Structure 1
Amino acid sequence: MKKILKYTLASLIAISLANCTSDFEDINTDPNGISNESLTQMNNHIGGSFTPMFLNVFNVTPAWNFQLQQNLLGDVYSGYMTPPTPFAGNVNNMTYSLVDGWNGFPWSDAYGSVMPFALDIKNAVALGGDASGEKFVHLANIIRVTAMHRVSDIYGPIRYTKFDDFETTGEYDSQSEAYQAFFTELGTAIDELKAFEDDAQFAPFDMSSLGGDIAMWRKFANSLRLRLAMRVVKVDPALASAEGEKSLSSDAGFLEATDMYINTGFAHPLTVISGSWGDVRMGAEMESILEGFDDGRKEVYFNPAEDPALAGAYKGIRMGIEIEAKGQYGAHSSIGSVVDSETMQWMSAAEVYFLRAEAALRGWSNAGTAQEHYENGVRASFGQHGVSGVDAYLADNVSTPNDFVDALNATNDIAYPSDVTIAYNTSGTNEEQLEQIITQKWIAMFPDGQEAWSEFRRTGYPRIFPVVVNNSGGTIDTDVQIRRINFVENEVNTNGDNVAIAVGYLNGPDNGGTRLWWDIDGSNF
C-alpha cells in the first residue's frame, strides 16, 4: 500500500514539475546567477500552485462539493443551519446515520488540492535555489495549517508531518502531533516572514483580502495561532498558554480592522444550496438566539420565511427531526445577503477579539481585559455586516434566547437551557463569562459552521439542541451529541494498516461518538 501511495504522489509531482518548471535545469546549473526572466517564471509556477490551495480550504465550486465538505457537517452540527430536505429518507447525517459517501469530501479536498500543492511549492523553491523563495514556503504553510486543522478537527488523526516523504506519506500523526506541527509551522512563518514585509512578490498570487501584504499575513498567522492555542486549552493548558502568549506578545499583531476572506471569483456556494436548491434553512438555535436578543444581524444572515402562515418571521428548523417531505419546512428562512458576494471568509477580526477576550478571562499575559475585547468583538461584527444599534445592544442585560417553537410539530419544541445575556457580566463566574464570549463569537463567525461546531465541542457553548431522531445505532449519545466523523472509507480500503494505527490514537472506537484529543468533558476552568 505504501508503494501505491508513493507512486501516486510521485506521479502528481512529476507531472506538475514537468509541465510548469522547464527552467529549473538552467536555474540549478547557475544558482547564483538567476536571471530576472527565470525568477519571474519560477514565481509564476509557484503562484499557480497557490490557486488550488486558496480554493480548497473551502471548496467553492461546484456547490455540491461544498455541501458535502462543509454544509452537511459543521454547518448543521453547529446549530447554524438545517436542511428541510429529508435526504435518503431522513436517514442521514442530521439524524446521526453518518453517510460515508458524503463525509469523505473534507479529506479528498485537502489531500487532492491542498497538501500536494504545498509540497509543489516547497519543491519548487528548493529547486530554484533562491533563498528569498522561502517566503512562499512559509505562506503555503500558513494556508496548509488553515486547511488541515479543520480536517483534523473533523476526523482527529491526519496524515501531515510525514506526507512529504514518499516512504511515509500514508502514515498518520496523532492529533496531538499534528497540532504541535501546526504551532511550529505558524511560529516559524511569523518569525521568518518579518524579513519580507516590504516584499511584493506574493501580491500577484494572493487571492485574499490581504492583497499580498506580508505584514498582514503575519497578523493572520498570529491570529490563527491564538485560535489553535485556545482549541487545546482543556487538554494541555501549558501548551495553550505558551502558544497563546506567544501570539499576545508577538510584534506581528492581530487582525483588528481587516477580515480575512478569499476572493474566489465564484458565487458563494450557499447561495446555490439555499437559494437555488432550497436545501438548507435557518437553524433552530439561530432563531432562538437572534430573535431572543433582537439581534439586527438576523436580517443580514437570513431572509424572512416565505410561508404566509409565518407572517414574515425569521423561522428555523431543529436538526434531527422527522421530516417527511421537503415542502414541509422549505418555506422557512433561507440564507440571507451575508453570502451575496464572491468571497469566502477564513477568519473575521471579530473572532480574534473574542479569542483575546477568552485569553484575558484565563489570565494569559498581555491579554488585556475580557470586557473590552468582548465589546470590540461585537462592534467589529456589527460593523462588518453594516448593522446599526450596537451601543444599545451591548447595554442590554435583560434579553435572553427564546425557547424554540416548531411551526409545524410541537414534538420538536424545546426550551433554551440558559439565560445568557448580552451586556458583559464582569461579576459572573468564569463559566458564565465564557458562555457570553462564545455565544457572541458563535454569532459573529457565521456562516463558518465548521469552526462553530469545533468551539461548541470544546466549550459546550452556545447550547445546541439534541436531535429528536437518533439513527446512530447507539454509537452517538443523543445528549452528548456528535463529536467527530469516522475515518474516510477510501482510506480504510486503500490505506488500512495506517488507518488501524490512527484508530489507536483515538480514545475510543472509530465512530461519531468518540471525542477528539482536545475535546475534554467537564468544566472549562
Structure 2
Amino acid sequence: MIINKIKRTAFCFSLLAAVSCTDNFNEVNTNKVGASDDQLAQDYNTIKAPFKPAFNRLFISDVTWMYQIQQSLQADGWSGYMTTPNAFGGISNHNYLLNPGWNGYAWDDAYTAIIANMYKVEQLSKGKYDNFYAWSLIIKGATLQRMTDMYGPAVMSSFGTEGDALYDSQKDIYTQIFKDLDFAVNDLQSRIAADEASTFADTDLSSYKGSYALWVKYANSLRLRMAVRISKVDPAMAKSEAEKSVNNAIGVFTTNGDVLKIKSPVDLNVIDVMSHAWGGLFMGADMESILGGYDDPRMAYYWNTSAIAPGKYKGVRTGIVYPTPQTYSKFSQTGARTKTGEVTWMTTAEVYFLRAEGALRGWNMGGTAKDLYESGIRASFEQNGLAGADGYISDNVKIAKDYVDLVNSEFNAPAVNNITVAWNEAASNEVKLQKIITQKWIATYPDGQEAWSEYRRTGYPKLFRITNNQSDGVISTEFGVRRLPFAASEIANNPKGVESGKAALGGPDNGATRLWWDADKANF
C-alpha cells in the first residue's frame, strides 16, 4: 500500500488486524474498539497492535521482492557490499540511470507500515501511557533517520495534520529526533529506577524481549550514530549529543548481548533468497579486494567460494556492462551470515567505531580512539563467532588487493583502499578515520544503507568506480549517487509537499544533490 497524500482524514492501516481502513480519523482516536479505559489500561491491546507490523518493515525481513526494491537495488550496491549483475533492460540504479519505480518504495513502505502506526500509538498513549509513547518515539526515530539519510527532507511535523503534507529539512528532522530520544530515554529510565515491570514483553518482537534498559541502550546508540553523522556540519551539536549518549547512566552498546536483532516471522533471510534461490545477488568487488587483501576470516562467514574459481572468493564490480544476467552467475554468493533468518538493526561493533571516531575528534567517549577502534574489531569477530582478532588487529602489512575480473579483463582494477589494519598513532587523522570507517564497513555488513551513508559522509572506504555511467551527466562517476529522488507517489499526489522538499533540499531533486550532513568539505 502507498500513502499518496498524508492527511489526517485518509489513513488506511491495512497492516493492522485491530484497526480497519477508515476516513474518520477522529472517530478512530476516540473509539477504544469497545474497551473501557480500565480494560485498556489492563492489557493495552489497542496500543500494542500497531507495533507488530513496524518491526519487520524497517528492514524488510519477510518478503524478498520488497527488500529488493527497498534496499538491495540501491544502497546495498552503492555501498560496495554486493551487486545484482542484471542490466534490467538498461534501466538500473547500478549504472546511475535511477529507476523511480524502485526508488520510491522505501518511502512509501516506511510511511504506511511504520510512521503511520507509530502515529497511531502516539494518539492513543501520549500523556496517558508514556512508556508506549516513548517506545514508539525510538522506533519512529530509527525509521526517520534511515528515511532522511536516503532522501533528505521528509514529512515529519505535518504528518497527520490537515492540509498539505509539507516536508521538514534534514537538519530539523535530526534535531527533532534528538528531542524525541531525550523524552524516550528519560521516561524509560524513570521506570527502570522505579523498578517498574516492562509492559512490552509480549509485543516486542526483537531480541530485547521488552527490556526497558536495552531499549534505552539502543536509543543512546542511535543518538550516537546520528551525532557522528552530523559532525562535519554541526560539530557543536554533534559533540554534545554524542557525549550525552555515552555518558548516560545506562549508556550505549558495550557487549554483543546489546545487539538489536529481529527474527523474521517466516524464518526467512531475503538476502539469501536473492543470492541462492533467485541466483541474482553476488559479492561486490570491493568486498573481494578489502577482505581478501586482509585475509579477513569474516570473508568465509559472509560469502561462499565461487564456482568460477573453486576455493576462491570472487566478487563482481558494480556498474559495469553485464552482457546477460548469467554472465557472472558463477561468482561468490552469500554465506552463513545471511542464513540466520535474523535482521540486525545495530551492532556493538558499530557503536565502538562511532566512539572511536568521536574520540578522534576530541570528544569524551570513555576511551582512546585506538582502544575503541580495536574493541570494535574484537566485537565484530565475537559477533560472527570468530577467533584471531588480536593477530588481525596487529597486522601492519596486509592491504587491499587488486581486483581481477575472470570474465572480462577490461574491468580489472588496482586496489584503491590501501591501508593496513594496525593502528598507527603517528598517522594523520585522515588515515586513522579511513581505518575506522573501513573496519566499520566490514562489521556493518550486510546493512548497505548505513555503509552507503558513511561512504557519502567520509569517502571511506575507497571503492571502485563504476564504468557504465548512464545518468547523462547528472551523477558524477567520481562522487556517485548521493540520495534518492522523492517518491513518484509524492510527486503525483502531494506536489506542494514535494515543492517544499525541494526548497529544503537546496538543489535539484536528483541523485546528485548532497544531503545536509553530506557536506563537500574535508573530514577534519
Report the TM-score when normalising by structure 1: 0.93
How big is the shift at 1:16?
9.8
Does 2:8 match 1:6? yes
How big is the shift at 1:297?
0.3
**Partner Cα separation in structure 1 for residue 133 and residue 339 of structure 2:** 33
**Partner Cα separation in structure 1 for residue 523 and residue 97 of structure 2:** 30
Aligned counterpart, 1:82: 83
1:424-455 Cα shifts (integer Å, max 9, x gaps): 11111000000000000000000000000000
Work out whether residues 275 and 334 of structure 1, in 8 Å CA contact, stay in contact via their aligned partners in 2. Answer: yes
Q: 1:350 aligns to what SS in structure 2? A: helix
Aligned counterpart, 1:31: none
Aligned counterpart, 1:386: 385
Pick from 127, 134, 141: which aligns with 1:138? 134
Q: 1:5 aligns to what SS in structure 2? A: coil
1:126-149 Cα shifts (integer Å, max 9, x gaps): 5xx7x4x10111111101111111
**Partner Cα separation in structure 2 for residue 3 and residue 106 of structure 1:** 16
Identity of aligned residues (%): 40
How big is the shift at 1:271?
1.5
How big is the shift at 1:68?
0.5
Aligned residues: 507
Does 2:245 match 1:243? no
**Partner Cα separation in structure 1 for residue 430 and residue 405 of structure 2:** 30
**Partner Cα separation in structure 2 for residue 120 and residue 141 of structure 1:** 12
Cα gap change, 1:327 to 1:367, in 2 (>3 Å): same
**Partner Cα separation in structure 2 for residue 20 and residue 146 of structure 1:** 29
Aligned counterpart, 2:188: 193
Report the TM-score when normalising by structure 2: 0.93
**Partner Cα separation in structure 2 for residue 369 and residue 13 of structure 1:** 56
1:63-462 equivalent positions in 2, closer than 5 A: 63-89=64-90, 91-126=91-126, 131=128, 133-167=129-163, 170-197=165-192, 198-257=196-255, 258-266=258-266, 267-307=268-308, 310-462=309-461
Does 2:17 match 1:22? no
Q: 1:262 aligns to what SS in structure 2? A: strand
How big is the shift at 1:49?
0.8
Gaps spanning 5+ residues in structure 2: where? 13-21
Aligned counterpart, 1:517: 516
AA aligned to 2:166 is E
**Partner Cα separation in structure 2 for residue 115 and residue 348 of structure 1:** 23
How big is the shift at 1:480?
1.2
**Partner Cα separation in structure 1 for residue 505 and residue 273 of structure 2:** 36
Work out whether residues 416 and 463 of structure 2, in 8 Å CA contact, stay in contact via their aligned partners in 1. Answer: no
How big is the shift at 1:13?
7.3
**Partner Cα separation in structure 1 for residue 233 and residue 365 of structure 2:** 22
AA aligned to 2:130 is E
Q: 1:305 aligns to what SS in structure 2? A: coil
1:143-174 Cα shifts (integer Å, max 9, x gaps): 11111111111110000122132345x11001
Q: RMSD of the alignment, in Å?
A: 1.9
Work out whether residues 9 and 166 of structure 1, in 8 Å CA contact, stay in contact via their aligned partners in 2. Answer: no
Cα gap change, 1:377 to 1:12, in 2 (>3 Å): farther
**Partner Cα separation in structure 1 for residue 513 and residue 299 of structure 2:** 34
Work out whether residues 104 and 489 of structure 1, in 8 Å CA contact, stay in contact via their aligned partners in 2. Answer: yes
AA aligned to 1:63 is T
Work out whether residues 9 and 25 of structure 2, in 8 Å CA contact, stay in contact via their aligned partners in 1. Answer: no
AA aligned to 2:243 is E
Q: 2:446 aligns to what SS in structure 1? A: coil
AA aligned to 1:489 is A
How big is the shift at 1:365?
2.1
Work out whether residues 352 and 375 of structure 2, in 8 Å CA contact, stay in contact via their aligned partners in 1. Answer: yes
Gaps spanning 5+ residues in structure 1: where? 28-33
Q: 2:262 aligns to what SS in structure 1? A: strand
1:459-481 Cα shifts (integer Å, max 9, x gaps): 00001111100010111011111
Q: 1:204 aligns to what SS in structure 2? A: coil
Work out whether residues 8 and 25 of structure 2, in 8 Å CA contact, stay in contact via their aligned partners in 1. Answer: no
How big is the shift at 1:414?
1.4
How big is the shift at 1:357?
0.5
Cα gap change, 1:38 to 1:112, in 2 (>3 Å): closer
Cα gap change, 1:20 to 1:64, in 2 (>3 Å): farther
Cα gap change, 1:476 to 1:204, in 2 (>3 Å): same
How big is the shift at 1:12?
6.3
**Partner Cα separation in structure 1 for residue 415 and residue 183 of structure 2:** 44
AA aligned to 2:170 is Q
How big is the shift at 1:9?
2.5
1:249-290 Cα shifts (integer Å, max 9, x gaps): 111211121211112223011111111101210001100000
**Partner Cα separation in structure 1 for residue 499 and residue 380 of structure 2:** 43
